[in-house]
Structure 1
Amino acid sequence: MKFSIERAALLDAVSQAQAVVERRNTIPILANVLMEADGDGVSFKATDLDIEVIDKAVAQVERPGGTTVSAVLFHEIVRKLPDGALVQVAEDQAQGRLDITAGRSHFSLATLAKEDFPVMASSDYSANFSCKASVLRRLFDKTRFAISTEETRYYLNGVYMHVAEADGGRKFRAVATDGHRLARVDADLPDGAEEMPGVIVPRKTVDQVRKLLSDDDAQIAVSVSETKIRFATPDITLTSKVIDGTFPDYARVIPQGNTRELKVDAKDFAKAVDRVATVSSERSRAVKLMLDEDRLTLSVNAPDSGNAEEEIAVAYADEKLEIGFNAKYLQEIAAQVDLEMATFLFNNAGDPALMREGDDLSAIYVVMPMRV
């Protein structure tokens, strides 16, 4: 194998691949990226046995072939090469090495046989459709903060993507929850997605897919089966296993009877929560909200360090209410608001609160209260 490639193109391709590789591996080949040169390009493949990513780049191929090399080490070398450099990569099969040359820089890395590189089993996808990158990005960005990190509740360690019945017809829906807060976001159902099975996309996959979605107008080809999900652009294909578990009936925890309505500037609210939470202990981070007519008072009382209080003008016309929340959860939910106003709906101090962006019902958030 021997090819020449622009440093920028090589870095883009290797960056996406090496991000999948786990830093600590008991299986040496999993720390490597598989390079295969053929025709007018090179493909880079990496896997952790749950996710597989293939990135293609245009190159001048002098000698077709393939080998594997340390993904992290190769990425670091390419990253540190000067901008605009032409990188020459050649395999020395006799020595079991990969030679990398750029200008006066030369590196020689150990390789492992490409035949040992694991291949992810193929899958028969029951749904194949195309979706704009901006739509997928919104679904993932507005839900991933609520993904659970508890390994024992593995079925909550991802975003549940499915087709849901809604007032406006069938929707393409993403949901995440950790039991303390919940995010539910809807989008128009893409053509071809009607038969999509509900799948739980793991957190790591969500983070990796997010890197494919920088171009708003790009069309992402999505394929879904009961066990796998695949996202593809013309240059990159990411295939992932989905979490083998049943996502809970999230509709049961979305409050329906909350009638006390608070409208507040989302950015002002998030900043006020952040300021008063400064004095709270990291362990609880509880903030009390005291609602009165067109007035919201946020307060924190931390016996060990002090207390804080701030008042902000809001639109609120219901009876007085005092309710406590985890400050971090409030800030994360408020950060999801793209519109100017956030609308909170409360019932009483012991019931979960519901938040949406103004009057937009396509994204709703639920947060459980705390005792303060």
Structure 2
Amino acid sequence: MKVEVNQKDFYQAINIVRKAVSTKTTLPILSGILLKTEGQRLRLVGTDLEMGIEAFVEAEIIEEGEVVLPAIYFANIIKELPNEKVDLEISKDNNTAFIKCGYSKFNINGSPADEFPSLPKVKSGKSFKIKEGRLKEIFGQVEFAISKDESKPFLNGGLLLFEEDKIKLVATDTYRLAYREDSIEELDIEGDAIVPSNTISEIAKLLNDSEDLVEVVLTENQILFNFAGITMVSRLIEGQFPNYKQVIPKNSKTKVEVDRMELLRATKRAALLARQDADIIKINLKEDRLVITANAPEVGQAYEEVSISLLGQETEIAFNANYLVDCLKAMKDETVNVELSGSLAPGVIKRDSDDYVYVIMPVRSA
């Protein structure tokens, strides 16, 4: 194989597919990236057998071929080269890659491409299209609530549902729950699937805030995303996701409207001392103000006050500061609504509409 490719475009494609490259594997081939000539493009693939990403880069194909190169070394080399033409040549005898760019020359050992696993082919399934920016927002407002407890694999992903003309995504780690929905015109599919945390996280990073469309295809055990010349395929998680509707409180005794950024900044400042006390902050709601306090016995105390509009009973509650920050950072609204029903009942943070709901469990504090 012998090709010429622009350094900037090359590195961008490498950086996309390396997100699926396995970092912990007993199969050395999975720590590499597949490069294969196809027409006047160079195809790049990375996979860890759970998720696979494919991307293309325009190239001048002088001689066709394919090879697998070690992802870390290969990516780091291309990254540091000047933004000029990169000459890449692969030896047919031993799969050694010779890289030349300007006055820089490298050679790295590769592996035969026939040892690299093929990406699964998603031939048919339920499909729909959604704008990149909207899907990015949906994933970004839910992913942080996905559980990392591997003893409950059905919680290690987000529940993706399709009901009538709505797409919904739910995640929970049992300490909090995030729910987001959005309408899609002419959505004619129904059902649900549990999408792995890593897939949601990586696809959210790759998506742009654009109006361009993403094609999403669902089969019985796989999900595919196709957009901007990138294809990601991932397995789905088996299991029964818990009934999230039972977790979301139907009523509340206290309703508060508050400036989102003011509450976020105040919470982050109080969290500086809350770290000394299991990240616990206390929230006290009185008349027209919300008071946040944190206590670190060996360091000191924090006090923050935010103006609010309160409807209902005055109350107090304690939360994990990080859980509150995660939600407020993900939202984009100027104001948010906080709904409470006492110090031991779950708290709810939501928009004026019900298309985004975040439930956070209280913590007991002395």
Pairwise TM-score range, normalised by the shorter structure: over 0.9
Aligned partner of 1:364 in structure 2 is: 357
1:107-122 alignment runs, 5 A limit: 107-122=106-121
Question: 2: distance between equivalents of 1:158 and 1:283?
Answer: 29
Contact 2:274 2:321 in 1 (8 A): no
- 2:199 is paired with a residue whose SS is helix
- 2:152 is paired with a residue whose SS is helix
Aligned partner of 1:319 in structure 2 is: 313
Q: Measure how far apart 1:272 and its partner are.
A: 1.3
Distance 1:123 1:175, change over 3 A: same
Question: 2: distance between equivalents of 1:334 and 1:327?
Answer: 11
Unaligned residue ranges in structure 1 (runs of 5+): none
1:277 aligned to 2:276?
no
Aligned partner of 1:199 in structure 2 is: 193
Distance 1:196 1:49, change over 3 A: farther
Q: Measure how far apart 1:196 and its partner are.
A: 4.5
Deviates further, 219-228 or 206-215? 206-215
Distance 1:94 1:336, change over 3 A: closer
Unaligned residue ranges in structure 2 (runs of 5+): none
1:182 aligned to 2:181?
no
Distance 1:199 1:125, change over 3 A: farther
Aligned partner of 1:265 in structure 2 is: 259
- 1:30 is paired with a residue whose SS is helix
- 1:280 is paired with a residue whose SS is helix
1:254 aligned to 2:248?
yes
Distance 1:202 1:93, change over 3 A: same
Distance 1:119 1:352, change over 3 A: same
- 1:268 is paired with a residue whose SS is helix
1:2-21 alignment runs, 5 A limit: 2-21=2-21
1:161-199, CA deviations, whole angstroms, 9 ceiling, x for partnerless residues? Answer: 1113xxxx64100111111111111111353x4325311
1:116-149, CA deviations, whole angstroms, 9 ceiling, x for partnerless residues? Answer: 1112333454212211101111110100111111
- 2:33 is paired with a residue whose SS is strand
Letter in 2 for 1:87: V
Question: 2: distance between equivalents of 1:197 and 1:4?
Answer: 46
Question: 2: distance between equivalents of 1:115 and 1:280?
Answer: 54
Distance 1:215 1:134, change over 3 A: closer
Question: 1: distance between equivalents of 2:5 and 2:190?
Answer: 39
1:148 aligned to 2:147?
yes
Question: 2: distance between equivalents of 1:304 and 1:133?
Answer: 48
Q: Measure how far apart 1:283 and its partner are.
A: 5.3
Contact 2:196 2:236 in 1 (8 A): yes
Q: TM-score w.r.t. structure 2 length?
A: 0.95
Contact 2:165 2:185 in 1 (8 A): no
Distance 1:121 1:278, change over 3 A: closer
Distance 1:189 1:259, change over 3 A: farther
- 1:314 is paired with a residue whose SS is strand
1:239-292, CA deviations, whole angstroms, 9 ceiling, x for partnerless residues? Answer: 011112221111100000114111111111111122223222445211111111
Contact 2:291 2:304 in 1 (8 A): yes
Letter in 1 for 2:145: A
Contact 2:277 2:295 in 1 (8 A): no
Contact 2:67 2:95 in 1 (8 A): no
Sequence identity percentage: 28
1:78-227 alignment runs, 5 A limit: 78-83=78-83, 85-164=84-163, 170-191=165-186, 193-227=187-221
Question: 1: distance between equivalents of 2:325 and 2:264?
Answer: 5
Aligned partner of 1:236 in structure 2 is: 230
Q: TM-score w.r.t. structure 1 length?
A: 0.94
Letter in 2 for 1:362: D
Q: State the superposition RMSD in angstroms.
A: 1.6
Letter in 2 for 1:10: F
Letter in 2 for 1:332: D
Count, aligned residues: 365
1:56-91, CA deviations, whole angstroms, 9 ceiling, x for partnerless residues? Answer: 1111101111111111111111000012x1011111
- 1:360 is paired with a residue whose SS is coil
Q: Measure how far apart 1:211 and its partner are.
A: 3.1
- 2:251 is paired with a residue whose SS is coil
